[in-house]
């Protein structure tokens, strides 16, 4: 089982603020990293799948970067909106594990 750490655990921001959070994972034998958004009373929804060092993905106001050599990924939200309130989960896959290992998530609350 991979050691996956996400920080911060929770975050409160004002509407319009930009924010970012971190996912740390073992850099050895890296294969891919997934980001999911989990809104209350809904199911987790895939945001990005990242595989290459230096990868940068974007979906609307949300973007993510990946550094496989040092074992971290950042998720950025520009101009946060109340509907961005959710728990953001990262899940790396190693070449040997072949399955996702989820971090405990960053719970984001955007205050209007």
Interface with other proteins by CB under 8 A: which residues?
1, 31-32, 34, 43-46, 49, 89, 91, 93, 98-105
Name which of 52 and 99 has its Cβ closer to other proteins: 99
The answer to whether 12 and 111 have CB atoms below 8 angstroms apart is yes
CB 18 → other proteins: shortest distance, Å?
Answer: 25
Q: Label the pairing between strands 30-38 and 86-94.
A: antiparallel
CB 17 → other proteins: shortest distance, Å?
Answer: 25
The answer to whether 70 and 23 have CB atoms below 8 angstroms apart is no
CB 16 → other proteins: shortest distance, Å?
Answer: 29
Name which of 29 and 112 has its Cβ closer to other proteins: 29
Name which of 98 and 112 has its Cβ closer to other proteins: 98
Q: Label the pairing between strands 10-14 and 106-111.
A: parallel
Question: What does the DSSP 8-state code read for residue 25?
Answer: -
CB 91 → other proteins: shortest distance, Å?
Answer: 8
Cα separation, 51 vs 2, in Å, equals 17
């Amino acid at each position: 089982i991979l050691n996956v750490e996400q920080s911060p655990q929770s975050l409160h921001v004002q509407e319009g603020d930009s924010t970012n959070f971190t996912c740390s994972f073992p850099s050895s034998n890296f294969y891919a990293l997934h980001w999911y958004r989990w809104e209350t009373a809904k199911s987790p929804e895939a945001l990005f799948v990242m595989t290459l060092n230096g990868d940068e993905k974007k979906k609307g106001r949300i973007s993510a970067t990946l550094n496989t050599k040092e074992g971290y990924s950042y998720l950025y939200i520009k101009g946060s909106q109340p509907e961005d309130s959710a728990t953001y989960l990262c899940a790396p896959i190693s070449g040997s594990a072949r399955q996702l290992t989820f971090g405990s998530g960053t719970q984001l609350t955007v205050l209007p």
